[in-house]
């Protein structure tokens, strides 16, 4: 593909001129992936930052059993893997190639070497990276604000919305369509292109994300339903 067109699409290179972009791109390594192939998996170690050059990549998080939620899809020019690039910790989600794709990767060690001689370019890239993270967090906040207004019919109770469950710390029981159940408190409700997901903390303080379409019924204790 045409390099200039690609650079125009990526916010990672905002405020950079062509010469600056060419310098930093020398540190990126190109890798091709087949459809369904993992670039990395959740909880893997790694500190690479990635950009999609061709194709697309789905970022997925394991929710329960073998179910993975698609957090977002990275298209041409999108960056991903930024959290581990910044803090060096385990991957918080998995990245899967959707169709054949070409990915550009920048190792944190290569970036650190680069900024020793090109501090200004490194500062621009790092600033753009933080802006991307901030934008994604703001979008998550907006989704949460809209989602807490949404309600469902809870089994055996009047029509209660999730804002009540969250603010009153009500203990609920979810019956799932895989013949499993989970009991705990709702921390928040999220909405994405895939639908609604409940974030639950159970009695052992473990956190799970449950897709709404996997829920058969929701019930609360009579004492809490009345309160």
Q: CA of 204: how far to CAs of 63, 185, 197, in Å?
A: 17, 11, 20
Same domain for 206 and 141? no
Same domain for 7 and 85? yes
Question: What's the whole-number mean pLDDT along residues 208-216?
Answer: 79
Place of tokens 């930024």: 82
To 5 degrees, how large is the angle CA 85–CA 88–CA 89? 120
Q: What range does the domain containing 121 cover?
A: 3-145
CA dist., res. 52 & res. 67, Å (int): 25
Predicted TM-score (pTM) above 0.85: no
Same domain for 94 and 195? no
Residue 161 tokens, joined: 């919305």
Same domain for 203 and 141? no
Q: 50-59: per-residue pLDDT in tens? A: 999 999 999 9
Q: Which of 112, 145, 178 is the last residue of a domain?
A: 145
Please report whether residue 86 resides in a domain: yes
CATH number of the domain to which 178 belongs: 2.30.30.100
Please report whether residue 151 resides in a domain: no
Q: 119-160: per-residue pLDDT in tens? A: 999 999 989 988 888 887 776 666 555 544 444 433 433 444
Q: 24-36: per-residue pLDDT in tens? A: 999 999 999 999 9
For residue 9, the model assigns a pLDDT of: 54
Residue 149 tokens, joined: 């207004």
As for how many domains the chain has, the answer is: 2
Place of tokens 């370019």: 121
């Amino acid at each position: 593909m045409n390099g200039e067109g690609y650079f125009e699409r990526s916010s990672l290179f905002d405020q950079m001129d062509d010469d600056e972009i060419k310098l930093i791109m020398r540190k990126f390594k190109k890798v091709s992936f087949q459809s369904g192939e993992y670039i990395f998996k959740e909880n893997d170690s790694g500190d690479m930052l990635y950009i999609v050059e061709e194709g697309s990549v789905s970022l997925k998080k394991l929710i329960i059993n073998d179910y993975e939620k698609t957090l977002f899809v990275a298209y041409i020019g999108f960056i991903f893997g930024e959290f581990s690039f910044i803090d060096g910790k385990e991957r918080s989600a998995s990245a899967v190639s959707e169709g054949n794709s070409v990915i550009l990767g920048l190792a944190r060690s290569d970036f650190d070497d680069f900024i020793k001689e090109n501090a200004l370019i490194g500062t621009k890239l790092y600033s753009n990276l933080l802006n991307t993270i901030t934008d994604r967090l703001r979008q998550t906040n907006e989704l949460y604000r809209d989602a807490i207004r949404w309600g469902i019919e809870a089994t055996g109770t009047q029509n209660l919305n999730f804002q009540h469950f969250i603010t009153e710390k009500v203990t609920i029981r979810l019956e799932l369509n895989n013949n499993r159940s989970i009991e705990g408190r709702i921390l928040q409700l999220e909405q994405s292109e895939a639908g609604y997901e409940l974030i639950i903390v159970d009695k052992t303080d473990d956190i799970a994300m449950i897709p709404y379409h996997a829920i058969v019924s929701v019930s609360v204790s009579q004492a809490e339903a009345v309160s």
